[in-house]
């Protein structure tokens, strides 16, 4: 049986900790009483993070590492053990992306996206599992709704998120079979107002953006921290993403057509390139922040996420009802 500690008794390792969802997770975890080892490539941002969040007595340590390097990820675990005596939850959040067609993105860039988004999660999961095996704890992988449904202009990113879902499911089964006592959760955010569009390497002829509706990074942090203390298979962060995933499953060809007609336009923001110092962090760290600098509206809460926190029998009923509604809408759309 899996038993997880209350969050205020935990030590968390969080990768991708200086920007967007990772930064929100670190901030919220410290506010809720947890201790955190924050991991990222950006050494300057890590130093600022430790100085800002450590002032109020928050138990935070930092470690600079690129999760694409397996030796660096091993060193992260060693740092957590040396600083805090170990860890209770490991959050694989670091990620990079590109905008452009599959042909436009060079092969080396395809590989780099996989090195970070897939192999970084693999490295972190295996290291975490070795440490937590027999002791118990949680591995939380931040995937995406794009692991359920690909979108044009983000092919390599979508492919990695499909791969992360397969990796997470396989890891869960292997650990359950051996009775390791480790919870394995996949978080699937929808569109989140982070610096991702500015950080991504862009091959389009216009500046990129994320398609609405958007949510704030705190919504993802809420899902991640819930999973650290409550065993769950999957949590969708944002109702918009959950609905689009259900629609894609109910009517895949219809969703194809919608993506083909609107997908590129919805991911471009002419005349608003964002902050230049943030652009293109595919190989090197760039300026980080909690939110993106584009002029967008983002929702600060998600009713759908709160519903997924319900006890499982109630959740099953709610999801069944939601799936039935979406299926009905898909049938109408075909007529």
Indicate which residues carry an active-site annotation.
157
Helix (H/G/I), strand (E/B), else coil: 2: coil
* Tokens coding 263: 């997908």
CA distance 168 to 160: 12
CA distance 266 to 166: 28
Return the residue matching tokens 């704030």. 216
**Alpha carbon 284 to chain centroid, angstroms:** 20
Q: How would DSSP label each residue in 53-83?
A: HHTTT--EEEEE--TTSHHHHHHHHHHHHHH
The DSSP element (H or E) to which 99 belongs, if any, is: strand 98-99
**Percentage helix, strand, coil, to 5, in the chain?**
50, 15, 35
CA distance 6 to 46: 26
φ, ψ dihedrals at 221, nearest 5° = -60, -40
3-state secondary structure 278-303: HCCCCCCCCCCCCCCCCCCCEECCCH
């Amino acid at each position: 049986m899996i038993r997880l500690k209350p969050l205020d008794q935990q030590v968390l390792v969080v990768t991708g900790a200086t920007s967007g969802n990772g930064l929100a997770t670190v901030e919220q975890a410290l506010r809720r009483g947890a201790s955190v080892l924050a991991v990222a490539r950006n050494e300057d941002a890590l130093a600022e993070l430790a100085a800002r969040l450590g002032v109020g007595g928050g138990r935070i340590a930092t470690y600079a590492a690129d999760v694409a390097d397996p030796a660096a990820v091993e060193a992260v675990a060693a740092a957590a053990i040396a600083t805090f005596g170990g860890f209770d939850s490991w959050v694989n959040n670091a990620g990079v992306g590109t905008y452009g067609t599959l042909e436009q993105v060079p092969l080396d860039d395809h590989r780099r996206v996989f090195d970070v988004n897939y192999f970084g999660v693999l490295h972190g999961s295996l290291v975490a599992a070795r440490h937590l095996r027999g002791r118990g704890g949680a591995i939380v992988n931040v995937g995406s709704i794009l692991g359920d449904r690909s979108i044009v202009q983000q092919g390599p990113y979508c492919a990695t998120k499909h791969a992360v879902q397969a990796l997470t499911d396989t890891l869960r089964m292997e650990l359950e079979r051996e009775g390791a006592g480790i919870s394995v959760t996949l978080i699937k955010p929808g569109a989140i107002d982070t610096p991702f569009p500015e950080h991504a390497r862009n091959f389009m002829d216009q500046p990129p953006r994320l398609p609405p509706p958007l949510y704030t990074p705190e919504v993802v942090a809420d899902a991640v921290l819930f999973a650290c203390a409550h065993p769950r298979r999957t949590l969708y962060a944002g109702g918009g993403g959950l609905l689009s995933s259900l629609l894609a499953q109910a009517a895949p060809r219809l969703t194809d057509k919608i993506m083909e007609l609107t997908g590129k336009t919805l991911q471009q923001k002419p005349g608003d390139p964002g902050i230049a110092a943030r652009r293109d962090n595919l190989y090197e760290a760039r300026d980080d922040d909690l939110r993106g600098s584009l002029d967008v509206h983002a929702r600060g809460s998600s009713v759908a996420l709160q519903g997924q926190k319900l006890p499982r029998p109630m959740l099953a009923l709610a999801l069944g009802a939601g799936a039935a509604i979406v299926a009905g809408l898909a049938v109408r759309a075909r007529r």
